Amino acid sequence: MNDLAVQNQCLLLKLLHQWAQWAHEEVDLSILKGENAVGPHWEALRSLLPLYQSITFVDVGDGRATDFWNDCWTGKVPLPACFSNLFSHAKVKEIQLLLERNEKKKIQLQKVVDNGIHEFLVPRLSRMSAGELEQVLGIITEIVLEDRPDNHICPFAAADGVLQAGPVYKAIKTHGTSQSLLLLAWSNCGPPRVQFFAWLLIQERIQCRANLKKKSIVEDDNCELCKQASESADHLICRCPFAENVWTKKGFSVDDALVGLLWDARRPESIAAKQYHVFLLLLSWKIWKHRNDVFFPHMEPSFARLGAALKEAAALWQFRFPSGDRYVVTYWCNAFVSILA
């Protein structure tokens, strides 16, 4: 039996996405407020705004419907995910008061581009936040606003732009929570294309041979790494003997592991808690890329080559982390030595 409360949330998200495409003249979409946006129905929609922001990213037009801090407009993560020190110096309380008064002077991307970000920050910044400010100013400088509405893009939407409530419901019920699965896929510090991979992986939609066979693209679905079983997403990332060896060397248990529940994997004591979900994503991504090296250039599976690729990627990804979290990469690279062995 369907969970009617969650189902109703999904249908409201579908409605919210539809309105985001045409209500920009009447409603401030960054906060869902406007002259006619009143009543219990609008309150219900506003309560879903954080969830909606976690499953969409913005193709910036005029910047008026883009929430500077909470929307994903620089890629597929909101700014606080990568610049947490700077966000800790934002005038959040003052901003909230402006939103409650329904005033227009707030954290719209348009306002930040036109007037600067400093009015939304406290006067004195820490050294780390000042360093992040320089990076954010560089991002803002590159933004060129256009004379068109912002476009909120959602991976749950069909080709016609209509958000599909069914897949949203399935994702929420599979993970058992209304927000964390969606947030972990899109709002971590991994590169955008890897976040997209994570979202496909959670839904078992990566182009593994089992999925390719369903589409009649290949005749057999044997795993490219082990040649012993059907190459489903669960098998390739978790249960293939090659992948299982990688996970177990890091202290993970892969018994009955599912990619849809990857983020629930118990953290081994040897792995730092900081950026733990990015660590899971890094391992999954590089196993997938290693499989592609075997499939396309016809290279032999190699733990040494995989370990070297993990260390190289970790060294690059650390610059996407808040500066206070980058130390974990040293521990990661030390952990990857066991894969190289």
134/210 same-domain check: no
Please indicate, yes or no, if residue 35 is contained in any of the structural domains.
yes
Range of the domain at 205: 188-340
326/245 same-domain check: yes
Number of domains in the chain: 2
Boundary-marking domain end, from 156, 172, 200: 156
272/136 same-domain check: no
How would you write the pLDDT of the chain (341 residues) with one tens digit per residue?
667 777 887 888 787 777 665 555 555 555 566 666 667 767 777 777 777 777 788 888 998 888 888 788 876 567 876 777 788 788 754 444 444 444 433 478 888 998 899 988 988 888 888 888 998 898 888 888 999 988 888 878 887 778 888 877 776 665 544 345 555 666 678 887 787 788 778 878 788 999 889 888 889 999 999 999 999 999 999 999 999 999 999 889 887 788 877 877 889 988 989 999 899 999 999 999 999 999 887 899 999 999 999 999 999 999 989 889 999 999 998 888 877 66
Please indicate, yes or no, if residue 234 is contained in any of the structural domains.
yes
133/237 same-domain check: no
208/70 same-domain check: no
Which residue in 40, 45, 21, 30 sits closest to 103, CA to CA? 30
Q: Which residues pair with 169 in a beta bridge?
A: none
Q: How high is the pLDDT of residue 74?
A: 79
Please indicate, yes or no, if residue 240 is contained in any of the structural domains.
yes
pTM greater than the 0.85 cutoff: no
16/141 same-domain check: yes
List b or e across 301-340, with b for residues whose CB sees 16 or more CB atoms inside 10 angstroms. bebeebbebbbebbeebbebbbbebeebbeebbebbeebe
135/257 same-domain check: no
Please indicate, yes or no, if residue 168 is contained in any of the structural domains.
no
Please indicate, yes or no, if residue 180 is contained in any of the structural domains.
no
71/152 same-domain check: yes
129/262 same-domain check: no
Please indicate, yes or no, if residue 262 is contained in any of the structural domains.
yes
252/311 same-domain check: yes
Please indicate, yes or no, if residue 179 is contained in any of the structural domains.
no
145/209 same-domain check: no
Residues 6+ apart with CB under 8 A from 331: 271, 272
88/220 same-domain check: no
